[in-house]
Amino acid sequence: DTEVTQTPKHLVMGMTNKKSLKCEQHMGHRAMYWYKQKAKKPPELMFVYSYEKLSINESVPSRFSPECPNSSLLNLHLHALQPEDSALYLCASSLGTGGFDEQYFGPGTRLTVT
Amino acid sequence: AQSVTQLGSHVSVSEGALVLLRCNYSSSVPPYLFWYVQYPNQGLQLLLKYTSAATLVKGINGFEAEFKKSETSFHLTKPSAHMSDAAEYFCAVSYPNNNDMRFGAGTRLTVKP
């Protein structure tokens, strides 16, 4: 199984809503990542978890809250988002945490904030 | 700071023609370099990677790239373009002991019949 799955595929939420994005991998990877991608732009790193611990937070606003309940699962909790947060949110994982290993990406969640 | 620069935000080729997508890195230490492809409304898929073994790297779908330290380049090539190659291509860099991968701005490849 070389797949990273993400749910939901699409999400529309109001600025006062609370929602969560879910990411799962069963490849035994030890690092997991959240990226934000705006249209016609490259992915921007948001968070990195290494061995289930948050290792990188790219100064992301607190309305985005990551969680890694176990080595296979990564969540992104959303609260009080702004319309400019509308984007494709990509999850990825890699076998190691040292930069050598490629990242495997999920298909993304298309988020629209109204 | 580590970075990669992709020259040309849009490249257009005819079907059967050579594909050349350019990527240059800036670094004082040996990097790991990757090429990813993204089709519309999908995630990224790895084409190939360089991790300091062979300088000529072969990837999937007939793509290859050559690491040239003297030119700080890692250009992606394919001898003959197919219509199915039309997509967005990203060059990315990371470093030893650091899983902070950074992407170039991307190059959109269009293939004309």
Q: For residues A104 and A23, give the distance between their C-alpha atoms in angstroms, rounded to a whole number.
A: 12
Mean pLDDT in residue range A45-58: 92
Among A95, A102, A112, most B C-beta atoms within 10 A, so best to mutate, is A102
- Cβ pair B78, B63 in contact under 8 A: yes
Among B44, B45, B89, most A C-beta atoms within 10 A, so best to mutate, is B44
- Cβ pair A46, A55 in contact under 8 A: no
**Helix-strand-coil percent breakdown of chain A, rounded to 5?**
5, 55, 40
pLDDT of residue B97: 78
Question: For the segment A5-43, what is each residue's pLDDT rounded down to a tens digit?
Answer: 999 999 999 999 999 999 999 999 999 999 999 999 999
Question: For the segment B37-53, what is each residue's pLDDT rounded down to a tens digit?
Answer: 999 888 999 999 998 87
Burial track A75-88 (b if 16+ CB lie within 10 A, e otherwise)? bbebeebeeebbbb
Beta-carbon separation of B44 and A105 below 8 A = yes
Beta-carbon separation of B106 and A42 below 8 A = yes
Chain centroid to Cα B55, Å, comes to: 14
Question: For the segment B66-112, what is each residue's pLDDT rounded down to a tens digit?
Answer: 999 999 999 999 999 999 999 999 999 998 877 788 999 999 999 99
- Between A and B, how many residue pairs show a Cβ–Cβ distance under 8 A? 66
The reply to whether A2 touches chain B by the CB within 8 Å rule is no
- Greatest CA span in chain B, whole angstroms? 45
Q: HEC states along B29-66?
A: CCCEEEEEEECCCCCEEEEEEECCCCCEEECHHHCEEE
- Cβ pair B37, B89 in contact under 8 A: yes
**What are φ and ψ of residue A80, in 5° steps?**
55, 45
Question: For the segment B9-28, what is each residue's pLDDT rounded down to a tens digit?
Answer: 999 999 999 999 999 998 77
**Matching residue, tokens 């250009």:** B75
Task: Kindly state the tokens that stand for A73.
Answer: 């699962």
**What are φ and ψ of residue B94, in 5° steps?**
-145, 175
* pLDDT-derived band at B1, boundaries 50, 70, 90: low
Query: Which chain A residues are closer than 8 Å to B43 by Cβ?
Result: 4, 90, 92, 105-108
Query: Which chain B residues are closer than 8 Å to A98 by Cβ?
Result: 96-99
Instruction: Please tell me the distance in Å from A68's CA to the nearest CA on chain B.
Output: 17
Give the residue on B whose Cα is nearest the Cα of A93. B99
The reply to whether A21 touches chain B by the CB within 8 Å rule is no
Closest by Cβ to B43, choosing from A31, A45, A106: A106
Q: Residue A71 contacts by C-beta under 8 Å, 6 or more apart in sequence? A: A28, A29, A30, A51, A52
pLDDT of residue A1: 65
Element (DSSP H or E) covering residue A105: strand A104-105
**Which residue type does A73 have?**
L
Query: Could you tell me the end-to-end alpha-carbon distance of chain B, in angstroms, rounded to an integer?
Result: 41
